[in-house]
Amino acid sequence: MNCPDCDGNINVPADASVGEIVSCPDCGADFEISKKDGSIELKKAETVGEDWGE
């Protein structure tokens, strides 16, 4: 799979399950695996920052 951010190559296991987090080795972004119409998609994972906003 290609990273949606930088187009780098992300290794997603064929048996990856929805909700697993994969990281892009190129830019370090985290993506959550989701499936749509039977094919795997990567969606940007919510990054937990140090600032919780309150």
Binders of Zn ion among 16-45, rule CB under 5 A? 24, 26-27
- Six-digit token string for 17: 């399950």
The answer to the question of residue 8 lying near Zn ion (CB under 5 A) is yes
- Of the pair 6, 18, the CB lying nearest Zn ion is at 6
The DSSP result for 38-49, as a single string, is TEEEEEEPPP--
The answer to the question of residue 5 lying near Zn ion (CB under 5 A) is yes
Strand partners, 41: 34
Residues that bind Zn ion (CB under 5 A): 3, 5-6, 8, 24, 26-27
